[in-house]
Chains A and B, each alone.
Chain A
Amino acid sequence: MIAFKSALDFIKQYGKPAIKAHEDALLVYANESMKDIKGFIPVGTANEKVSVLSFNINNMHPFDVGQMLDAKGIAVRTGHHCTQPLMKRFGIEGTVRASFAVYNTKSEIEKLAEGVAQIARFKNK
């Protein structure tokens, strides 16, 4: 309960519109930073979406990409994300998914993009 109150106070302090604006900006920045990486395949590109970026790297399994990002100190989720019918529709086994929240920064997005670029070069020369 104490932690929950602290969380609510945090949100009230910044305000939901400001938090959303920050998260949306991070998503835009992430897309811009990674769209030209050779082998980068965004998955789920709706115009209106929350601040998550699902993607695959050509010729690589998302589990491997996730493990390599983990080795760089970057935490992402991998797999079907409990959306097996959606993955089936896309014809893929899963994705790598980066989620951005109010406490993430542009610098962290840059590290993610740099990491993804390096990993992608392994199988996409």
Chain B
Amino acid sequence: MSNIQDIQEEIVSEFEILGDDKESTIFYIMELGGNLEKFPEPERKEENIIKGCQSKVWLIADEEDGKVHYQADSNTDITKGLISLLIRVLNNRRPEEILQADLNFIDRIGMGSIIGSQRSNGLSAMIKQMKLYAFAFQTKQNA
């Protein structure tokens, strides 16, 4: 499995192809949401909604073979695309890898100027929740 930084380099290369074309970049982000696994309907509930996102983003996590497996969905296509990028980088990794991950691809692709400050706050909230899940699993593993 590629390491976190390798995956980030792939993402940065993909976005470099789009250049400064903001419209195409947003379309691309919206299409990325199609990569998400089908979200289990019973988990589409209030307690699984990430706090701090303007849109509704449902995120759950479980542990398989000591690694964190995320599933997510959203009611907006752009947010689906954003969470799918994060899952692509962080999915199926050990909790300590996730907690130590430096998600530099976000700034390198200029995500802030693409999605604006409100959605950037939402993106930060997604990362925080994903890391909180990792922390919880790490704590459980160390118990």
Q: For this complex, into which size category does the number of interface residues on chain B fall?
A: 10 to 19
Interface residues of A in 41-75 (CB under 8 A from B): 60-61, 63-64, 67-68, 70-72
Contact assessment for B78 and A122 in the assembled complex, using a CB-CB cutoff below 8 Å: no
Check A61 against B77 for contact (C-beta < 8 Å): yes
A93 at the interface (CB under 8 A from B): yes
- Asked whether B23 lies within 8 Å of A122 as measured between CB atoms, the reply is no
Q: How many A-B residue pairs have CB under 8 A?
A: 31
B116: contacting residue among A68, A70, A93, A122, CB under 8 A: A70
Q: Determine whether the beta carbon of A63 is less than 8 Å from that of B115.
A: no
Contacts of A68 in B (CB 8 A): 23, 26-27
Tell me the B60-98 residues at the A interface (CB within 8 Å): 75-79
Whole-angstrom distance from the CB of B87 to the nearest CB of chain A? 19
Report B59 CB to chain A, min CB distance, Å.
18
B residues bordering A, Cβ < 8 Å? 22-23, 25-27, 30, 54-55, 75-79, 115-116, 119
